[in-house]
Structure 1
Amino acid sequence: MAMIAKQGWRLLTEANKLVSAVMKARYYSDSSVLNVKLGSNPSYVWRGIYQALEVVRAGARRKIGDGEDTMVWKVPWLPDDSHGFIATDEYPQLKNIKVSSLMSADKSWDVDLLNDLFCDRDVDLITRIPIPLRDTRDSCSVEEVMALQLPNKISNLVWRLCKGCLPTAMALASKHVDIDVRCPWCHSEIETDVHIMFLCDFARTVWLTTRVNHLVQCTMNESPCQIFTRAFENGTREQCVEIAMICWSLWNRRNRWVWERINGSVFGVRHSAINFLAEWKEAQVRDEDRRLRGELGRRVWCPPKEGWVKINIDAAVFLDGSIGVGAVIRDSQTKFVIARGRKIAGAWRPREAEAMALIEALSWVMAKGYNHCVFDTDSYELATACNGRPGEAYFGNIVMDCIHMLKHICPVLVDFAYRSSNSAAHVLARAVYSMSDTGEWVVTPPKFLTHVLDLDLN
């Protein structure tokens, strides 16, 4: 299933290839591969791809650039994991409009138009999407079913389950291995991946002791990939992690019985899964803390090198969905130079808000003509993305805009800083909530920043 779904994904992302053009002309000439119908007299190849498209639809989202290539009602482009399509009923006279029609000339959403056309849910999701400053075409991104924060060997097991390559008795027999295909536990059914993980009496008993039993109800005709996809659609990420851990523990128990004749109880299977996940998470926290203490930033604010300026930046997300961004510039002599704060309407997520704070600071610094700049942010993810791989989805779009702007400042650095050494920008970002307009202070800092700036020097 996963291999065939990959072909569907290629039809979606590689539309300029000959095979994509042929398929589009034959089966979906006036629509998208994501909402195509089976059609009349389909080939065996197309039947297979059509069935596997459910896997693609579960995670595929259109990433908005200039909006010229994306239909408003026919493509999943909203940042909603469970339903990426517009929920508002389609207007017959507007059925073929593009997302670009919802944008203003200044590369922002036309909020008045959105409020007139769409329900509150759609307006909220649309305004969360940042519009790139560069001329960028729309593209596709996908959230993999296996994209969970898990130990590598658990992720590998989930991947093998979804690919259908777990070495169960039935899988080995299909490769002409002379083996008893019956389940080693119940001895009454053929051992397939779905049976050993979900349908065997012992497996059912294990799932009944968990909080995710309702998410793994299935039949012998379903594949593990379909089960995981349904779990993603109906459950939380934490529940999906628990499902993966229980699957690993069940497979581990099966192997210990087959190869060592060591049996395990229902309690033992569940206890092993929970304990292993807890130990792994604790190890990740220790490693991250050690890495941060050893490699990243400083606990206290430090001035830049002679001839440079340091720009501390931060963002604050408010209850109404808007954000406040703040930037404070100081020189190598620790003197306050200038600060700026601004409120931006919309419905932003924290990491996108941090990236927007950097874009605002870059635009401001470029307008002022500064060079030899160090930008300090307390978002490790943003600092890493600017110095390495930008990432996917809308956060990646904003970071690419940042990287493009950074090329116009020479020399320049983007560094991680602890919150304790970034407190001036943090206070300023929160303070702009009560401001009616953009605030800018030159030479003399605002009163609410004076105490914070003094603490940075002590």
Structure 2
Amino acid sequence: MFLHHEAETILGIPLSSGMTEDSQSWAWTKNGESQSRALTQWSSKNILPTNHYLKNRKIAVKEDCVFCGERETSGHALWRCRAAAEVWKESGINLPNGLSPHGDFIDLVWNLLEAPIVFDWELFETTAWCVWKNRNAMKHEGRSKQTKSIAVEVGRFVEEFRQNNMSNLKPQNQPPQARPLWCPPKSGWYKINVDEATFKDPHCYGIGVVIRNDSGQIMGAMTKKLHLPLGALEVEAKVAEEGIILARELGLGEVVVEGDSMTVMPALSSVNQPPSSIQKVVESSIHRLRCLRIGKQSM
């Protein structure tokens, strides 16, 4: 059984229609979402699965901290525990003076929100997530990292996140650019144009696909509604996959995919690494593109 918000999160993960293998990946995505952001949201709703929380939910666990044996609340696990406190000190984050002990981690967050300082929330959330990740490794695998190692990991993740986001910054107050005219593909190739649409229902998205040959003749077209709570990036990945699937069903060979996503299109060309939330969908699409070309050559 899942809580409503947990079910929404699970349903928002786009699944590839291909048979790609599972793999581990870092949680940051280029649109700024992260597991560390989810950690803060869980804490704000007081649903972080600490031992104390699980015991209150009638789950048979001891509520002791795996590091020091004290009662493990969210405030203890992420802030007050010796293992957590050492990481915060090593991270070098600029915290305001006079912070008093709190029962829950969200109390600390509110304290920081009200503090009259410029605060590095990216570093704060990433540090909290790495502390929680280290706690989980200790609880479930019986191993933990050294404090300095965790601090180095925090710095690396934050730098990676900021570099990814810099490429997505758009200049403000720029006049809208005219949509470029359609350009035909190379001779003997086909172009798959894809786009998505949003509706009032946040759990419903529309996708559209048009495939033309090098003369501009329409070889196939498709529209479809997706009844899933996907984000914009995930919809962009799915519409590209649907276009490639349609091209395969039509028996087309050399194809090129065109869309307006500045994340999905470079990933399909293997120019950029896709964010983890769409990694498997993109991998499946790349595999299908290769199969299209191999199949055409063998005919």
TM-score, normalised relative to structure 1: 0.33
Which one has the bigger helix percentage? 1
Higher RCO structure (Cα 8 Å, ≥6 apart): 2
**For the pair shown, which has the larger CA radius of gyration, 1 or 2?**
1
